[in-house]
Chains A and B, each alone.
Chain A
Amino acid sequence: MSDRVTTNEQFATPELAAVRIEEDSGDLSRSDVLLKGALAAGAVYGALAVGPFVRKALAMTGSSDVDILNFALTLEYLESKFYEEAKSRAKASGELKSLVNLLASDEKQHVEALTATIKQLGGKPVAEPKFDFPYSGTGGFLKLAQTFEDTGVSAYNGAAPMIKSKEVLAAAGGIVQVEARHAAAIRLQNSEEPAPAAFDTPLDEKQVLKAVEPFLA
């Protein structure tokens, strides 16, 4: 994996580096900051590096279940907005159009479920930040969609072991499996392997952890 970052292509997933996350008031929430860090780590080291990054960041900050759910909510805001926008922007037709509609609906339901759960736990759901997605056309959409879904799977897999409540963990598991299903379907649309590796973790997690440390400073 070190080849990827030492060649002249500086980023493993350059499209993630171009995603913008902003808060209206200019005051970023902790979840927004964490998501920015996760995307940055993913941009440099690939989508699978996001999990170890998230896990370490959550461990370092001693996050509660509400904090973790708020981070998941921010991620789901991003995906939900991305697909909602894609309905008109991705110029999808036929099978892909149906898929975009399905994914938009699933992500919206994830947002709603996470919001409700945070409230039930006595927490305050974070506000939706503003997103800017840099892509054009169907091909650009598919590329970014694949990265987002792989990132989402990795992020949930990284965060889940930090969850304290068994019910919240089980529910998060039900969401990450759906994200993995999305990832496989989008990958097939890109004519890529739906399950490129036997494990949704980086080959060398320790190496990744060391590599993402600067993002956690």
Chain B
Amino acid sequence: MADIKQLAGPQSRRKFLAVGGGSTVLAAFLAACGSDSDSSSTGTTAMSSGGDKSETAEFGKGDIGILNYALTLEYLETAFYADVVKSGLFKGADLETIRKFGQEEAEHVQALTQAVKSLGGKPAPEPKAEFPLKNAKSVLELAGTVENLGAAAYLGQAANIESPEVLASALAIHSVEGRHAAALNTLLGETITPDGAFAKPADVKTVLKSVEPFIVG
């Protein structure tokens, strides 16, 4: 499992830059963030602009593809928390937190399924998943990684969403993923803002590669 900092590192930063096509606006933002300058050459192609095939094309066209991509991730998060609850590794307040987060992910699954249908699309199927659940600490670490990645995945798609309504819904979920991530980071004794004052996005390729080890069959 890759480090979350790597996930949201130079690669997505480069892509972030590419979105604006030399935008001075973004340059200003980045300069004001005191961002680390990097010259990594691992950049990927720019996000959908113009007629290019979108990053989430394999999940469907336009907003449907983005929603189905999000739905796939939410399915994984829901399955993960359900397995963790069943594992018996947690008790008391920690178990309640995990149960609550799992319920919220399940609500995200429902909302995204509805949203795909309302756009006339076919909801993505639930992937079969298996997670390594060795001990409480490693599970919390995995949860933290998954939530930080999930938040970055939503952030990576926000600007690609066409419908203001879909965008509003995605943002309402995105900030909840951010809350989950910060809560888990707190439990782990890690900083709540691993990217600093400005959260970084993750692109589809990076996200899918990170969750691939957990998908079976």
Is A110 interfacial (CB 8 A cutoff)? yes
Residue from A119, A173, A188 within 8 A of B174 (CB atoms)? A173
**Taking chain A's interface residues, is the majority helix, strand, or loop, or is none over half, making it mixed?**
helix
Bound: A113/B104 CA distance, A: 32
A181 CB contact (under 8 Å) in B29, B159, B193: B193
Residues of B within 8 A of A119 (CB): 28
Assembly CA distance A181 to B26 (angstroms): 23
B25 and A109 within 8 A (CB): no
Interface string of B17-39 (1 = CB under 8 A from A): 00110011111110111100000
Q: In the complex, how many residue pairs between chain A and chain B have their CB atoms under 8 Å apart?
A: 189
Q: Are B175 and A109 in contact (CB under 8 A)?
A: no
Contacts of A1 in B (CB 8 A): none
Interface-facing stretch out of A24-32, A139-147, A191-199: A191-199
- List chain A residues, Cβ under 8 A from B19: 166-167, 170
Give per-residue flags for B86-130: 1 if the beta carbon is below 8 A from chain A beta carbons, else 0: 000000000001001101110110010000000000000000000
A106 touches B28 (CB 8 A): no
Tell me if A199 and B100 are in contact (CB < 8 A): no
Residue in B29, B165, B174 whose beta carbon sits within 8 Å of that of A177 in the complex: B174
Which residues of B approach A to under 8 Å, CB–CB?
A: 16, 19-20, 23-29, 31-34, 97, 100-101, 103-105, 107-108, 111, 151, 155, 158-160, 164-165, 167-169, 171-176, 178-183, 185-186, 191-193, 195-201
Residues of A in contact (CB 8 Å), total 52
Minimum Cβ distance to chain A for residue B70 (Å): 13
Distance in angstroms between the alpha carbons of A166 and B18 in the assembled complex: 12
A190 close to chain B: CB less than 8 A:
no
Q: Which residue of A lies closest to B185 (CB)?
A: A181
Contact A102 B198 (CB under 8 A): no
Which A positions have Cβ atoms within 8 angstroms of B? 55, 102, 105-107, 109-110, 112-113, 115-117, 119-121, 153, 156-158, 160-162, 165-171, 173-185, 187-188, 193-195, 197-201
18 contacts between A and B (CB under 8 A): A107-B197, A117-B25, A153-B175, A166-B160, A170-B159, A171-B198, A173-B174, A173-B199, A174-B198, A175-B197, A177-B151, A178-B195, A181-B192, A183-B179, A184-B178, A187-B179, A198-B176, A200-B171
What residue in chain B is nearest A161 (Cβ atoms)?
B164
Chain B residues with CB under 8 Å of A167's CB are 19-20, 23, 25-26, 29, 159
- When distances are taken between beta carbons in the complex, the residues of chain A under 8 Å from B195 are 174, 178
